[in-house]
Each structure stands twice: as structure tokens, then as C-alpha cells.
Amino acid sequence: MPHIDFKNDLPGIRSAMAFRPETAGPLNQLAQILLRDENGLSRADRELIATLVSYRNDCFYCHNSHGEIACIYLDGDRNLVNQVRQNFETAEISEKLKALLNIAAKVQNSGKDVNEADIERAKKHGASDVEIHDTVLIAAAFCMFNRYVDGLATYAPTEMDSYPVRAKQIAENGYGTHVYSQNQPK
């Protein structure tokens, strides 16, 4: 049961966003830029970073939600998403993305864990400054979103078929005010 009365029965972060629309606005705008921008990282890369960090933060709602969105961008390759969750170093992804996921995994624990060798590795495989910036900020932002979702004990659906349905809506329409509308399907 949620720690506070959201006055709605929406799942996950959407219940908290509907409860406090003043903060939902900038949170959705941040997600829209960080996860949908096509400057540098692909949308699949961005959602994989979000999924890895959420998985390591043990946030069931977030890692399943973003894992399913990544899956759509990867033409349904759920196995690849699981490889990233379990061990991104051996996943069938580029060396550049492995280097960026390594930075994201460091940030998940502490920003201070990122060292010069981590940055050099990413640059060696072609990562730009904007891509490194976005990797750090996506990882940091999910350390916020995960804590927001779990710190208020929001409701996470256990019916796993609800996640692909919602993921399709996000992949098609992006992150916006509709995300926390009560008129949308759960």
C-alpha cells in the first residue's frame, strides 16, 4: 500500500505525478529530453541505461517499464535487454555502449566512482562529450526516479502483460503530461 493517499489508483510513478502535477511537469520534460533526444545516443541506448540503473536499484516498476520500452526500440529483442540487466560486459552490444553502461553503473552507486579510466574507455570507443554527459545524467536521474517510486511505496503491477502495453504508448507518444493523466489506460 502506498505510504500516502495519492487519491488515484494509477501505477508506479504516475500515481505520484497525478498527486503533485507541479513537480510532474519538469520531471516529464526531463525524461522527454533525456530518453527521447536523438542528439548522440539512440533511444534504445538511453532506455537501456535507464533499465540497467533501475535494475541495480532494484526498482521493479522502473526496470520493467523502461526495459519494455527499450525492447520496442530493439525490434522486440527482450533477450538483449536481459543480457544488459544481467551482465552488460558480455551483452551483444557495441563496445561504446558497454563503456557508457560502465559509467552509468558507477554513477548508480556514486558519482565519485567514475574515474578517468572509465571516461578514457568511452572516448576510445567514440563517445562524445554530450553522450558522456547524457549517460551520467540519465543514470543520475534514474537514481531519483527509482527512489521517488519506491520511497512512496507506489503500486507496481505484477501482471507483466501491462508493461508492454504502456511501453508502446510511451514509444509512440513520448513522455508528457498525458503520462500522468487518469484518463489514460493503466
Stretch touching a second copy by CB under 8 A, among 2-10, 42-50, 74-82, 158-166: 2-10
Binders of a second copy in range 43-102 (CB under 8 A):
57-59
Binders of a second copy in range 133-162 (CB under 8 A):
133-134, 136-137, 139-141, 143-153
In order, the DSSP letters of 112-128 are: GG--HHHHHHHHHTT--
134 contacts 37 by C-beta, under 8 angstroms: yes
Of these, 119, 157, 164, 176, which contacts a second copy (CB under 8 A)? 119
104 contacts 135 by C-beta, under 8 angstroms: yes
Nearer to a second copy, 77 or 125 (CB): 125
17 contacts 184 by C-beta, under 8 angstroms: no
Binders of a second copy in range 167-186 (CB under 8 A):
none
Q: How far apart are CA 34 and CA 41, in angstroms?
A: 10
Q: Which three cell numbers stand for residue 85?
A: 540487466
Q: Shortest distance, CB of residue 186 to a second copy, whole angstroms?
A: 21
- Count the neighbouring beta carbons within 10 Å of the beta carbon of residue 126: 11
Binding site for a second copy (CB under 8 A): 3-5, 16, 19-20, 22-23, 25-27, 29-30, 33-34, 37, 57-59, 103, 106-107, 110-112, 114, 116, 119, 129-130, 132-134, 136-137, 139-141, 143-153
